[in-house]
Structure formats: structure tokens, C-alpha cells
Amino acid sequence: MKSLMIQGTSSGAGKTTLVTALCRIFSKKGYNVAPFKSQNMSNYSYKTKEFEISRAQAIQAVAARAEITPDINPILLKPLGNYRSSVFLHGKFYKNMHATEYYKKFALTKGLAAATHSLNKLHRLNDFVIIEGAGSPSEINLEKYDIANMRIAKKANSPVLLVTDIDRGGSFASIIGTMTLLDKKYRHFVKGFVINKFRGDLDILKPAFQKLKKKTGRPILGTIPMAKFALPEEDSLGVKARHMVWNKKNLKKINSEIEKLSKLVEKSLNIKEIERMIR
């Protein structure tokens, strides 16, 4: 199976945006590519008469010029409050669950089985799959039940790029901390790092790259400058997402923003090295 997985040092690091950009970059290179996120928590969805999935994965499919199907987001959690969520499985409402029930009775059984089924299907239908993780792979309190990060990387035997938001500060510490807390059996999947939302003089930042490589054995594969794009956000810390109407006018705007985003990311990353990893 050919895959590339984008994980982050935290929520909001830029995983969703980076996957969106890479979907368009590789689509333009002539690959049949599909996005995938096994589990997404969001109240902002893409809904048809047949199914409902996360809006973010639907936009990534637009970027990939791929069909929007339930397989690109087999598990959608829509928060209800008080640690409860509505669980959608393969695009259909399954049941409302408390977090305890979800983690202890669903995640490693029906949840992981659903994610694996969809991932395998996408691999059969595409040249490769660009996978998005969730939160951080080093949330040691949740690692036992995590079906969105390293378990998926292992299932797909996928190289992982770890992205971090330098605008928040502490990026190098976050990278090293993430690598340190990762279970040793998963560390080899991480092949490099991406610095996101950088402001300032890159020459001042570069000396830290060598120090990071000495400590982790892995390179920085690119630095993406801070930029704003008119793409619908996911509801997260510091961001209040807005609803959108899926009509031709808005899709045209989204497609235009995806083009701008992909050009910026293509200039900022070592795409040839990333392409080599997937092969």
C-alpha cells in the first residue's frame, strides 16, 4: 500500500491544510490520490441524502479531484456536550455515545475495523492515499485507544511527516517531545518534519534545523510561511468555524483557494523527497 501520513504536534498545527495542499499537488502531477482521516470530531459536515462525513475531508477530496465518499472519513464524531457525541459510521448515524463508551467499547473494535476497511478500499482504487492524523500521536493518556494516528500508519505502512505550528511557539520542543513520548515501535515511521505558519527571516531559523536533526535523526522537509486562505475552518481552539453552502459558487471559490495554497506549499516543501518516500 502506498501512503503518506500527516500528523501534528498538536491540534491546529496545520494537518488539514497540508493534506489539502498535497492532494492538489499530487493530483496535478497525474496521480489518482484520495484523502483519508479515520476519525474526525466536528460539527461541520458534508451531508447528502445518502451519507454525512466531515467537511474537511470533503474539501480535501475536492483538492484531490476525487469522489467524495464515506470511506474518506469512516468515523465522524459530532459533539453533543458533556463528553457525549453522535457517532456516524461510514456516513450513517450509528448511536450517541459517552467518551468512555466510545474509547472502551467502540474504538478498537467496530471503529478500527471500519477505518481499516475504508483505508484498504481507498488503496485499491487509487495510486496512493494521503492520510491525516488527529490531534497529536503522543497523547499518552489516549494512546491505548488512538485509532487516528500511529495505528493507522502501521496499518498502511506509511511514512509520517510531523507538522508543527511555529507561530504558537515551542515548535522544536514540541517536535522533540512528541518523538520522545512516541512508543519506540512507532518512531521509525516518522521520516521528517514540517514547520508551519512561519513569520520572519528563514536564515535565522535554519541553524536550529541541524540541531534538531542531530537530536532526532530526521530532517526538516520544509517551512511554510504564514498565510491566510479563504478555506472553511474546522471548529477548534482559537477558531470559530462557519457553516457553508455547498453550491457551485462556493466550490469555485474553494477551488481557487486550494490552487493558491498548493502553489505556496509546493514552493515551501521538498516535494521530490516526499514523492520518493511514497514510492
Listed residue (243, 238, 265, 270) closest to 10, CA to CA: 238
Angstrom distance (rounded) from CA 266 to CA 225: 12
122 touches 71 (CB < 8 A):
yes
Coil, helix or strand at residue 115 = helix
Q: Which fold has domain 3-38+116-278?
A: Rossmann fold (3.40.50)
Predicted TM-score (pTM) of the model is 0.95
Digits of tens for pLDDT over the chain (279 positions)? 799 999 999 999 999 999 999 999 999 999 999 999 999 999 989 999 999 999 999 999 999 999 999 999 999 999 999 999 999 999 999 999 999 999 999 999 999 999 999 999 999 999 999 999 999 999 999 899 999 999 999 999 999 999 999 998 899 999 999 999 999 999 999 999 999 999 989 999 999 999 999 999 999 999 999 998 878 766 544 555 567 788 888 889 999 999 999 999 999 999 999 999 997
SS3 at position 55: helix
Amino acid at position 88, single letter: F
Distance from C-alpha of 123 to C-alpha of 2, rounded to nearest angstrom: 7
The answer to whether 202 touches 176, Cβ cutoff 8 Å, is no
Take residue 59 and report the three cell numbers written for it. Answer: 474539501
